[in-house]
Chains A and B, each alone.
Chain A
């Protein structure tokens, strides 16, 4: 746990030093509160031996030892609380997201997904994960569908698809200039378009026949998109739950 203590070369320590070392390891929280003499008397050694021990492990003296341990304890505390905060935040966000989902919209989409019209599921880069997940599970549920991970291909399909087909597009940012042509083309070919996106703009909502909002935040790391798509995945899972009930009851009857 304590980094600089675990880096000490134990082999190089004498028996006495090793006892000191062990005591410090076991009572880390105590050390910053002790005076040099107090620690020495607890270990039944002289003050000098403690100081010599500190120097042996590469520190200037007892004060530096106290300072280092105090710092590490503080850091550990900070790390721990920030991790718990992260988890709590994740749970709160998840609950909040569940509450914002529009069930009427989802039910309509489920009806489409459970119909026997041809279904194309599209997603690229990180959004291809929820797309592929939905595609794999739907196939496991005996609902045949087609996965498209290529933008040009989905553009082509939206122009040439047979009337009544369903095109489900998953895109976190859903830039209008990229997807506009797909929605327009699918309207001409009388296909039904569904968009799942975290784009908040009203214009893009009206472009698609059905729209589901997922509240994923844009996150970048080294200028690369690392948006987790976790709510997109959550939506997909909810769709799967609802669709599976319908799909499995319809096949059994």
Chain B
């Protein structure tokens, strides 16, 4: 739905208030479908003008167009009856679909050019569950006979390596929040040394996406179990899958 009209440029242009609106709309599509602009403004404790400005910023003519879009996507999602009839699998498929629709060909092509170059690729996420996604990325690179791929888990080692990066290096970082301090630090060091930074981060406002050269954004919900999180990484797996599918296609063309 919204993913059709949003891309990284638009998302980064939104300020934190507008991102809250986007967040709310994304999480409560049913509510927004029936709410008037005033009701929505009250819910978000902002003015109606802010919402209007938000609509304009995401290239819509106004609030009615937003409502129309949401209504349409609500209808289409209720039409496609998903069998594991749980709200979890509904949100799951919504996240995947929107993430895939948000993928821009330009970013994928840029990344493919980098993969085809002989630069070294460095992977960092600070371990944890995102580290498992990087395992996947690393294994896929090797399986596609892309060598010179280095994966770091320990932060101290990674920072040490980051100091030695040059413009002949690419750093790929993944953060399920986009705000994990060590990952931001890593990206910053790499950038000051001239390396290219590729970031896979959520669609919400985050610093990593602002400094990265190539961005991939995904939709998802944060979930916590006491001190640890278990946000779904499935949308990121799908991004990686899409990248390598495109990569395979680009090789078959030749």
Q: Given the complex, which residues of B lie within 8 Å of A222, measured CB to CB?
A: 144-145
Q: Given the complex, which residues of A lie within 8 Å of B167, measured CB to CB?
A: none
Shortest A129–chain B CB gap in Å is: 4
The binding surface of chain A is classed by DSSP as helix
A83 beta carbon closer than 8 Å to chain B: yes
In chain A, positions 121-156 with a C-beta closer than 8 Å to chain B are 125-126, 128-129, 132-133, 136-137, 140-142
Shortest A91–chain B CB gap in Å is: 5
B80 beta carbon closer than 8 Å to chain A: yes
Whether the Cβ atoms of A241 and B89 lie closer than 8 Å is yes
Q: Given the complex, which residues of A lie within 8 Å of B80, measured CB to CB?
A: 95
Whether the Cβ atoms of B100 and A90 lie closer than 8 Å is yes
Shortest B69–chain A CB gap in Å is: 18
In chain B, positions 213-244 with a C-beta closer than 8 Å to chain A are 223, 225, 228-230, 232-234, 237-238, 241-242, 244
Whether the Cβ atoms of A141 and B84 lie closer than 8 Å is no
A80 beta carbon closer than 8 Å to chain B: yes
Q: Given the complex, which residues of B lie within 8 Å of A242, measured CB to CB?
A: 86, 88
| With contact pairs A132-B132, A230-B237 given, residues A86 and B88 touching in the complex (Cβ less than 8 Å) | no
Q: Given the complex, which residues of B lie within 8 Å of A221, measured CB to CB?
A: 143-145, 248, 251
Shortest B86–chain A CB gap in Å is: 8
| With contact pairs A137-B129, A226-B244, A230-B237 given, residues A244 and B230 touching in the complex (Cβ less than 8 Å) | yes
B249 beta carbon closer than 8 Å to chain A: yes
Q: Chain A: which residue is nearest B96 at the CB level?
A: A94
The distance in angstroms between the C-alpha atoms of A92 and B19, with both chains bound, is: 29
Q: Given the complex, which residues of B lie within 8 Å of A136, measured CB to CB?
A: 128-129, 131-132
Partner of B225, one of A101, A133, A142, A230: A142
Whether the Cβ atoms of A87 and B103 lie closer than 8 Å is yes
B43 beta carbon closer than 8 Å to chain A: no
Whether the Cβ atoms of B89 and A140 lie closer than 8 Å is no
Q: Chain B: which residue is nearest A78 at the CB level?
A: B253
Q: Given the complex, which residues of B lie within 8 Å of A128, measured CB to CB?
A: 135, 139
A/B interface sample: 25 pairs, CB < 8 A: A83-B246, A84-B105, A86-B249, A87-B101, A91-B97, A98-B82, A98-B84, A98-B89, A101-B83, A129-B139, A221-B143, A221-B248, A224-B145, A225-B143, A226-B144, A228-B241, A228-B245, A230-B241, A238-B88, A238-B89, A241-B89, A241-B92, A242-B88, A244-B230, A245-B88
Partner of A90, one of B88, B225, B234, B245: B245
Q: Chain B: which residue is nearest A228 at the CB level?
A: B241
| Size of B's binding interface in residues, CB under 8 A | 46
In chain B, positions 101-140 with a C-beta closer than 8 Å to chain A are 101, 103, 105, 108, 128-129, 131-133, 135-136, 139-140
Whether the Cβ atoms of B230 and A137 lie closer than 8 Å is yes
B93 beta carbon closer than 8 Å to chain A: yes
Q: Given the complex, which residues of B lie within 8 Å of A103, measured CB to CB?
A: 83-84
Whether the Cβ atoms of A237 and B249 lie closer than 8 Å is no
C-beta contact mask, A184-210 vs B, less than 8 Å → 1, else 0?
Answer: 000000000000000000000000000
Whether the Cβ atoms of B238 and A141 lie closer than 8 Å is no
Shortest A82–chain B CB gap in Å is: 7
A51 beta carbon closer than 8 Å to chain B: no
Whether the Cβ atoms of B225 and A141 lie closer than 8 Å is yes
Partner of B232, one of A80, A140, A237, A245: A237
Whether the Cβ atoms of A90 and B238 lie closer than 8 Å is yes
In chain A, positions 74-119 with a C-beta closer than 8 Å to chain B are 79-80, 82-84, 86-87, 90-91, 94-95, 98-99, 101, 103, 106
Partner of A228, one of B84, B223, B229, B244: B244
Whether the Cβ atoms of A90 and B242 lie closer than 8 Å is yes
Q: Given the complex, which residues of A lie within 8 Å of B139, measured CB to CB?
A: 125-126, 128-129
Q: Chain A: which residue is nearest B91 at the CB level?
A: A241
Whether the Cβ atoms of A83 and B105 lie closer than 8 Å is yes
Partner of A87, one of B83, B100, B129, B131: B100
The distance in angstroms between the C-alpha atoms of A156 and B223, with both chains bound, is: 37
Q: Given the complex, which residues of A lie within 8 Å of B132, measured CB to CB?
A: 129, 132-133, 136
Whether the Cβ atoms of B140 and A226 lie closer than 8 Å is yes
Shortest B221–chain A CB gap in Å is: 11
Q: Given the complex, which residues of B lie within 8 Å of A241, measured CB to CB?
A: 86, 88-89, 92, 232
Beyond the given pairs A87-B103, A136-B131, A222-B145, 11 more chain A to chain B contacts, judged by CB atoms under 8 angstroms and listed by A's residue number, are: A91-B97, A94-B100, A98-B93, A125-B139, A129-B136, A140-B230, A226-B143, A226-B144, A228-B241, A237-B233, A241-B89
